Amino acid sequence: MSSDSFRRTEVAGVSMPRMIVGTNWFSGFSHRSIAADNMIRSHLDTPEKIAEILEVFLEKDINAIMGLLFAQPNVSKAINITEQHTGKKIIVIDTPVINVDDTPEARKEAEATIKMCKQKDDATFCLIHHSSCEALVNKNKRTIERIPDYLYMIRENGMIPGLSAHMPDIIQFSDENNYDVQTYIQIYNAVGFLMQIEIELVNKIIWNAKKPVMTIKPFAAGRTTPFVGLNFSFATLRDCDMVAVGVMSPMEAEEDIEIASAFFENRQVKVKARGSIAKTPLHRDN
């Protein structure tokens, strides 16, 4: 594996790795089954185990992490452990769920949640969670109602604003209305897992986006291999876009970094072949 730092881009003046550490797999959100959720939680049951994985990413300067951090206390603790052990700062992309009811009380609650992203998680980016953002979408008017209020709250608390856009329309509506959005999250993978419209159209929306896009679920929650998922994503995205990956072990992190590095360096991937009870001569030779 090359000793060089991982390929980078820039978002709102912040240098960002094109690979981002995702956190669903750290907290047991498998998108497969309750049994799989519990297996993940039993495997990664301490902040120290997560920190071991984060250190692998930091060795290649992959120093950005995305997640709903207030719901993932072990991840927040792991970030602190890793920063103290390595002396390196991790860029936090927080994705809070906020109360978007149109009342003074709800706005106060939303602002308190946003403030916590900075005070508790020291987030650089605050991207409103898709479950909150999508509740405000007006498809008829092609607007996201009252979203400027929440983006202003993010700015006022010293973070860079963005939107989680599982609904691809959010990117289009935000750009059309020139909202203060500096980056987006969008589901994007080779099999269309959890994507609301066809892959080709999402690809077009990403390419036409005015700001860099952080894509998620590149492996479709295990429905495709990292080799397929990463090569598809990086081959079909813009140079400014990023891919968030979820892993369960330091070795998985090393493999994903190697696969992506091989893509950028236009060379063969150097990872061991998968195990098999009855390997053919073809398997044994590679």
Say which residues have a Cβ less than 8 Å from residue 211's Cβ, sequence separation at least 6.
11, 162, 175, 181, 182, 183, 184
For position 273, what pLDDT does the model report?
78
CB-based contact 18:226 (threshold 8 Å): no
Average pLDDT score over residue span 114-135? 95
**pLDDT-based confidence at 194, cuts 50/70/90?**
confident
Question: Is residue 267 in some structural domain?
Answer: yes
Residue of 8, 112, 127, 5 lying closest to 66 (CA atoms): 127
Separation CA 112–CA 120 (nearest Å): 11
pLDDT band at 1 (very low <50, low <70, confident <90, very high): very low
pLDDT for res 39:
81
**pLDDT computed for residue 143 by the predictor:** 97
What residues have CB less than 8 Å from 114, skipping those under 6 apart?
96, 98, 126, 150, 153, 154, 157, 159
Amino acid in position 188: Y
Assigned domain for 27 exists: yes
Tally the domains of the chain: 1
Q: What is the CATH number of the domain that holds 28?
A: 3.20.20.100
> Is the separation of the CB atoms in 47 and 78 below 8 Å?
yes
* pLDDT of amino acid 282: 58
What average pLDDT does this structure show over 22-38? 83
Give percent above pLDDT 90 in the chain: 80
**Which residue range forms the structural domain that includes residue 112?**
8-284
1 inside domain: no
* 163 φ/ψ angles, rounded to the nearest 5 degrees: -130, 140
- Give SS3 for 278: coil
Q: Is residue 2 part of a domain?
A: no
Q: Is the pLDDT of residue 2 over 50?
A: no
For 247-285, write each residue's pLDDT tens digit: 999 999 999 999 999 999 999 999 887 776 666 665 655
> To the nearest 5 percent, what fractions of the chain are helix, strand and coil?
45, 15, 40
Residue-wise pLDDT tens digits, 200-246: 999 999 999 999 999 999 999 889 999 999 999 999 999 999 999 99
pLDDT in the model for residue 285: 57
Please state which of the ranges 27-41, 48-62, 66-80, 238-252 shows the lowest mean pLDDT. Answer: 27-41
